[in-house]
Structure 1
Amino acid sequence: MSNDLYLKKNFPEEPGVYVMKDSNGNILYVGKAKSLKKRLASYFQKNIPDRVSFLMSRVEDIEYVATDTETEALLLEYNFIKKYKPRYNIHFRDDKKYPYIKITNEDFPRIIVSRKIEEDGAYYFGPYSDVGSARRMLALARNIFKLRSCKKMNKIPCLNFYIKRCTAPCTNPNSKEDYNNRVNELLMFFENRGEELISKLTSEMSAYSNDQEYEKALGIRDKIDAIRKSMEQQKIFLDTPINKDIIGFYDKESICICVVMVRGGVLTGTKNYPIDEALFEKEDTLSSFLKQHYREEFLPNKIILPFDIPDRKEIQFFLSEGKSDLILTPAISPREKEEVLLATKNAELYLSSKKKSPLEGLMMSLGLEDLPRRIEGYDISNIGPEIKVGSQVTFIDGKPSKENYRIYKVKTVSGQDDISSLREVLSRRFKHQESLPDLILIDGGKGHLNTALSVLESFGLEIPTVALAKQEEDLYLEDDINPDMDTDSKNLLIKIRDEAHRFAIKNLRNMKRKASVRSPLDDIIGLGPKRKAKLIERFGTIENLKKAKIEEIDEVIKNHSLSEGIYNFLRTLK
């Protein structure tokens, strides 16, 4: 994009949202600015980063919406990103809501896992990082406090009563006082009032012991031991019960944001958000995350950042909707800095554990049933209308298998027609259906892909096939374009595509070189290389051979009918 567009648009000084579009009107990127004029001017400077330069090379138009305040701009940017999902904006949202532990509002409350928070008078604790963590906590609470989990109370005890996970209030409605007492104990447990709960239970245990009700005293002792053990297993982050998130940001080989969730002073889990590629600086990436993640998820009292961001105060106001109960701050105290280091280390470990091989990445991105261990790449190349070849390169387990490379001389296509040439090459390759690939890669666009799919269909084959175009590196699937894919997997496809092109060009040049030294004698049917060499040795040049008589030619060839054919052919040459 040239600077003429910037000068022509005359962007205002007011805050607002800008929308970058390509030549087809597709939205590429949505951004927010305190000053539209200053922010957009930064995109037209000479020394912008390569990744930003790549974005701007695709931008053909910039539209904007000016707002009265930056908070309005933040809200508008969030809504635009959510609605249009621009290709170069980072998207963090999960499809699933975080799970909570719910204590229902009933005569005999249940303890369950829920992904919804409703205004139903129930108690909710969490969120937990995943449903597995929530279910483990649920099982622990049921074992200690013996609350029911059944949806409907029958008059007959269920299995949980016999395995001592419930006291079966369904068979004894008069036990409501004792049951509610255990509900209150559970609430103290989830509110991180463990020491207070243990003190209460210890007093009850002593009272039962003094009254010589030793069985009840032993039951409370077992409950105290279970609570102490669970408190030791849970990492206590804070001296005071508070809900807060600690953000870790790892950006060495790849980028990952880790959210460490502390609820009521207890670590309830972590959630990691890997990012394949970010166009802008880390401050912009973190700002995008905060705006998207916390707009619809649980908002804690405090969010500790790994570093400060320019629009921190505006984002704090935006997320809290003007309320003052949210603290958004970079790590300040030594303890907070230590917690951020822990979160950042967790992000690094997550990337290490989740790093996929390029083949695994292809299987996930393309929705393949199996690992594409054998991939075949095809390219069509030509020199002029006459010399055309199709190349087939084969990669096995991500590495070139040169013994399985093939070159096809295009025989049935006249002129420069890549589509028809590709049809011929693929038809010849899959006619025998030997050593079929797990994935086919075509050098080209949508038209090339459709040709390949029609050839496979004609042979009754269903082989996953994609096409990778040059320049923009657009990847075409049968019903999609540019699916989400990690860099290593995309680079493997590019490597295979480029290798197919290199192999085709190499063979094309060899054919051209051979054609440049071609002899008219090559067109004589029945004349092999040895007899041709003897003729050249005897007569020296084609001109001398044209002057020779049949008898002289036959002295070398020693086959009268062939000698006669050579003599007559030479008469046709000019």
Structure 2
Amino acid sequence: MEEQKEHIKELRKKAMRLPLHPGVYIMRDKTGKIIYIGKAKALKNRVSQYFGSEKNHDDKVRRMVSNVEDFEYILTDSEFEALVLECSLIKQHTPKYNILLKDDKGYHYIKVTKGPWPRISQAKQMLNDGAEYLGPYVSSWATKESVDEALKIFRLPSCSRKFPQDIGKGRPCLNYFIKQCSAPCRGRLSEKEYNEAVKDALEFLRGGSAACVKELTRKMEDAAENLEFERAAHIRDRLAAIKRMSDRQKVVALKVPEQDIIALAQGAEKNCFEVFRFMNGRLCDRETYLMGEIGEAGAARSEFIERYYSMRDRIPPRVTLDGPATDTALLSEWLSRKAGRKVTVSIPQKGEQAHLVEMCRSNAAEQLAQSMGRTGREASALDELGRLLGLAHPPAYIEAYDISNLAGGDNVAGMVVFENGRPLKSAYRKFQIKTVDGQDDYGSMREVIGRRLREYQENQDSGEGFGRLPDLILLDGGKGHVAAVQPILDSFQLNIPLFGMVKDDKHRTRAIAANGGEIAIQPNRKAFTLVGAIQEEVHRFAIGYHRQTRKKNTLSTSLTSIEGIGQSRARALLKHFRTITAIREADLEELENAPGMTKPSALAVYRHFHALNETGSPGNEEQNNQPIEPGE
């Protein structure tokens, strides 16, 4: 470890001797392999940052720096030249710690099988199988969407059944009942009718919806003139289906005819970039890139744009982002020169563009969620909450705390945990307040957080339970709670984001409290729903524990009124018999054999309850039968 620190110091000394000049820096490991390439406006300032305090780096940078044996640099005349050189070198060397994208934009085809009952499907390559192939097409997504649309409009099967072999075997699938398949498997569709539908579908795929609508309209009119009303109605239904599909695309009709939208969804271990590509006011392609750690979001967006457009010949006049990227002006200049015309990089705040960005981000969150076994709503909510609170990453592991008491009595606290947007009930914890008397929520919260962090110091090697630090701590309370607890975190030298959950006069979540102010969350619907659910859950858990404790203390007090029964024996009796009724119904021998009991104390308990029975006042039966949980 000491050797590593000394090596970092030597690298920093070397970095401090670099010129304040634009250029590219190249990091190498012990084997001489290039592990990272970056650009800088001022080499000295940028490179020396890597070898400064670790507290200023994210995990990705820390790991990269720990593997750096040496670095070299290349001076350039401008920052723009540094960017061009950086892109070229990264493409050539593919360093481990740079964002690297695989250019898998191969060709795709639409396959039409031969035979009496042809099938239409998507294919990744042409095979020598006698089938007809339409294409090639560049976009896999657009090809799949077109095939799916054609099958739905013309009600063609997408299942694995073979015709005519499977005709009449088995019931039709769900697609038939939702009017997305004519179900030739029923045996009520002739081969001629089926082949006509396939022919119309191919005309739709070859000529587009406008040409297909024109041809189908002509066929419908001809059928009507020939008094073939059933056929005319059938064609009319197809035209209606095409219109429905066209209406779906109106949601993405733009004032800007051509642009790319790039959005980032972040997770604790994985991240996802989503690209929506628009041409002629229509979504024509989408691409998804799942990757590991990416570091700071702004720098990651900038690096992604460099890598992505290094692989693409087509650059639209506008690139729209979901958040800030470093060196936006430089990126715009680079893209403009590469495209041979002006390219604008923008971050919309409202209107149609902002709506489309949110749609792109939601799709990125959905793809990320699926890769991690979560739902898109959970991933979106965590991503939105992380951005709202200014966190480096979405908070995958959240702890929330609430204090519960009655006029300062039976003072307890509850802690709930949400992992990946879901309650993790195995990690819930209960606290009995030990050092605070009376109704002092601030003091109680300080005690609870202090105890929790001391548990972390003792169990951090395990990495589980209290040995794991949360990504975010939420307190049921306002900025006063945050201000009271923040010094506790500071005393442990832990940089854990801390916020409060503020309620309105109807006890509903209203805002997030920061140290010195509040952050409104109502407009951020997904984050608002998540925080509201956390606040409700921690309140439910804390008040439930408080009621349990109060009931236990009430029942315990009824036992301590018996001569010879103190708090310890009362708790032991309740733990052994579980209910007051069970104690009352126990015989003398059972009481004598209970833990901690003596013959005189057992006799006193027996006489107490039997005396009550003789007076006809056995107590509250419902309360007496309540099971008692063991104390902490």
- Could you state the TM-score of these two structures normalised by the residue count of structure 2? 0.42
Structure with the greater relative contact order (CA < 8 A, sep ≥ 6): 1 or 2? Answer: 1
Q: Which has the larger radius of gyration?
A: 1
